Amino acid sequence: MKPISEPQNLEAFVGRMLGDMGAAASGALVLVGDRLGLFRALAAHGPIGAAGLAAAAGNLDERYVREWLLAMAASEYVLFDAGDETFALSPAQHAVFADPDSPVALAGAYYSVASLYNDEAKITDIFRTGRGLAWGDHHACLFCGTEKFFRPGYAAHLVAEWIPALQGVREKLERGARVADIGCGHGCSTTILARAFPQSRFIGCDVHPGSIEHARALAAAEGLPNIEFTVATAKDFPGRDYDLIACFDCLHDMGDPVGAAQSIRRALCPDGTWLIVEPMAGDTPAENMHPVGRLYYSFSTMVCTPASRSQEVGLALGAQAGERRLREVIVDDGGFRTLRRAATTPFNLILEARL
């Protein structure tokens, strides 16, 4: 590796670090804007000045709002007209920050980022001890942030693209199928499916009791009678003869993913399907040296690997396991006959396993 010695290289690297520090600091302000509805108010009323936005967002303090707007403008998260000091959102900024149903809604991810800073001391400690850190022992921002980050993508792709990409699954769901969503978290994936396929019955399972409570409240608020939630692991979830079992962005978090695969295999009916959605990743670290890989390796260090280490076996696949390693877990060791890539997004790898 060539050391950084030339002044221009050092200058470029320092510039990169200043940009990264600015992004890290701006993340807290994204949370402020999301919680106070500033992005949504700006989308509805812009171009607008600080005083107008402060009033539109619920009579907030103008001085704070002005400073927030200038920070967001310096980050290029909002548009700034220096002539009349008004602010607005571009279509892209609106999609990312102000529309919770946009497939690229990313403001929610900052809640999970906040949890990383809150939990830094815990993670520093386990680097010394080699122990794990259970999902439920993280800051609560991780749980809501995970839902907010993944829900828009699931809403955009799950029913419209991923289910149709599976062999015969959509037809089964339309007729009436038995479905288990393992590692369901707050239940957004389960409720999306239950709403789309009212003839089918769904059970969502997760090891985190707080997430199951949230999922039950979500299903009750949406009036979905074909769904239930229970606290269970991938190795002891209830029921047999499922037509479809799904694991959304959670297999790599499990301590014993091979045991989970074997349990899921036994719980499927003979022509059943296992849908595995995992973070998009290449098979080698070199393939993951890009912005998405940077994000996922960071969360894998702080959340995914410690979660696996906190459980039995502690295989610690990591969020960037890649399709080749997942095949070893699912087919070679888990006992499934076939595994194929059914679909992809920039963030997701969608796999179909069959008996």
Percent of the chain with pLDDT over 70: 98
Give residue 7's pLDDT band: very low, low, confident or very high (50, 70, 90): low
- Answer yes or no: are the C-beta atoms of 270 and 242 closer than 8 Å: no
Tokens describing residue 346:
């920039």
User: Per residue in 159-171, pLDDT tens?
Assistant: 999 999 999 999 9
Residue with tokens 């600080």: 50
d(CA 28, CA 30): 5
Contacts (Cβ under 8 Å, ≥6 apart) of 59: none
| Count of domains forming the chain | 2
User: Per residue in 14-51, pLDDT tens?
Assistant: 999 999 999 999 999 999 999 999 999 999 998 999 99
Beginning with the edge strand found earlier in the chain, give each strand of the sheet holding 338-344 in spatial order.
Answer: 227-231, 201-206, 178-182, 242-248, 268-279, 348-354, 338-344
CATH number at residue 11: 1.10.10.10
pLDDT (0 to 100) of residue 6: 61
What is the reported pTM? 0.93
Distance of CA 341 to the CA centre of its chain: 20
Mean pLDDT, all residues of the chain: 96
pLDDT (0 to 100) of residue 5: 52
**Residue 33 domain-assigned?**
yes
Spatial CA neighbour of 274 closest among 166, 165, 200, 151: 166
User: Per residue in 49-105, pLDDT tens?
Assistant: 999 999 999 999 999 999 999 999 999 999 999 999 999 999 999 999 999 989 999
Find residue 203's DSSP bridge partners: 180, 228
- Assess whether 75 and 135 both reside in one domain: no
Could you give the C-alpha distances from 230 to 187, 208, 237, 238, 251, in angstroms and in order?
A: 11, 10, 8, 9, 18
Give residue 351's pLDDT band: very low, low, confident or very high (50, 70, 90): very high
The whole domain housing 12 covers 7-99
User: Per residue in 95-133, pLDDT tens?
Assistant: 999 999 899 999 999 999 999 999 999 999 999 999 999
**Residue 104 domain-assigned?**
no
**Residue 29 domain-assigned?**
yes
Least confident of 9-13, 317-321, 341-345: 9-13
CATH number at residue 153: 3.40.50.150
Say yes or no to pLDDT of 3 above 60. Answer: no
